[in-house]
Amino acid sequence: MAYIEIRGVGKTYHSARGSLRALQPLDLAVAEQQFVSLVGPSGCGKSTLLMIVAGLLAPSEGEVRIRSTPVAGPYTDLGIVFQRDVLLDWRDAVSNVLLQAEMRDQDRRAWEPRARELLRLVGLDGMDRKFPWELSGGMRQRVAICRALLHDPPLLLMDEPFGALDALTRDQLNLQLQRIWSTSRKTVLFVTHSISEAVFLADRVVVMSPRPGQIVETIDVELPRPRHLAVRESPEFNRYSQRIRTIFEQLGILSEL
């Protein structure tokens, strides 16, 4: 039984101006402890799919099951990271991480050592008492990741978490995410529009078509771990990237004109 079962999930948005078909009915199974990337052009519905898996959005058809239980509302045994870090301005870094505990009716003091340890692990040593406006974008996103990991959830959903960051910070965070994942082996669903990020991080890459989104292909990435940044120049890596690029070209997303 797969950890996440997505069966026939489709989504149509209805508004005064008519209806918008965001997702065609699609099926996907994510195995436990697998790192799966969802890659596709803007507007293809990958974020919508993630929100449906999280139970934050109801599908128009189909269902999602996590650990065989249907998702009927916001699923809480997970950590979620959005593209915007959404930290609370009135709390310092460690208090922002501890929000996860407080919202779950836990005593924050019990979780404080773990929060500090997580911040240290992502390279924010000594930044515990800093406020979000004193931190750079990359630092804030790292605080958001620590917040998502505080309660050690078995599932991690990430919606273009590094999309708003510069290339160097992005590479750094890719490496840190890989390191965190390899030590804790969570199931991860990672949405991105970067082909190279998708291939670098994942065990499987799910390629989506433009709106209305559907799964065009699923590619197993057989590169050995741990992966160093240099692997992105290797011929094997390029073969994967090329395959995905070709798919996008065929779908009309990329053209060499």
Partner 1 sequence: MVEGEVERPAGAMARPAPGWQQRLVVRGGPALVFVGLLVLWEAAVVVFRVPRVILPAPSVVLGQIVSNPGFLLSQASTTLLEVLLGFALSLVIGIPLAVLIVSSRFLENTFYLLLAVMNSVPKVALAPLFIIWVGTGLPPKVAIALMIAIFPIVIDTVIGLRSVPPEMLDLARSMGASYRKVFWKIRFPAALPSIFGGAKVAMSLAIVGAIVGEFVGADRGLAYVILTSQGSFNTPRMFAALAVLSVMGVVLFYAVDFMERRMLPWHVSHRGEAVGQSE
Beta carbon nearer to partner 1, 4 or 124? 124
Binding range to partner 1, per CB under 8 A, among 15-23, 61-69, 84-92, 238-246: 84-92
Beta carbon nearer to partner 1, 131 or 251? 131
CA-to-CA distance for 140 and 146, rounded, in angstroms? 10
**H or E stretch including 110?**
helix 108-121
Binding range to partner 1, per CB under 8 A, among 97-105, 208-216, 224-232, 245-253: 97-105
* Position 137 contacts partner 1 (CB under 8 A): yes
Binding range to partner 1, per CB under 8 A, among 18-26, 98-106, 178-186, 194-202: 98-106
Q: Return the number of other C-beta atoms located less than 10 Å from residue 181's C-beta.
A: 18
Pair 93, 127: CB distance under 8 Å: yes
* Position 102 contacts partner 1 (CB under 8 A): yes
* Position 9 contacts partner 1 (CB under 8 A): no
Member of 130, 193, 204, 243 binding partner 1 (CB under 8 A): 130
CB of 56 to partner 1, least distance (A): 5
Member of 123, 218, 242, 249 binding partner 1 (CB under 8 A): 123
Count the helix, strand and coil residues of the chain and give each as a percent rounded to the nearest 5: 35, 25, 40
CA 183 to chain centroid, in Å, comes to 17
Member of 2, 99, 216, 254 binding partner 1 (CB under 8 A): 99
Pair 79, 148: CB distance under 8 Å: yes
CA-to-CA distance for 39 and 140, rounded, in angstroms? 24
CA 215 to chain centroid, in Å, comes to 17
Instruction: Name the residue among 177, 171, 186 with its Cα closest to residue 79.
Output: 186
Interaction site with partner 1 (CB under 8 A): 51, 54-56, 74-76, 78, 80, 82, 84, 86, 88-90, 99-100, 102-105, 123-127, 130-131, 133-139
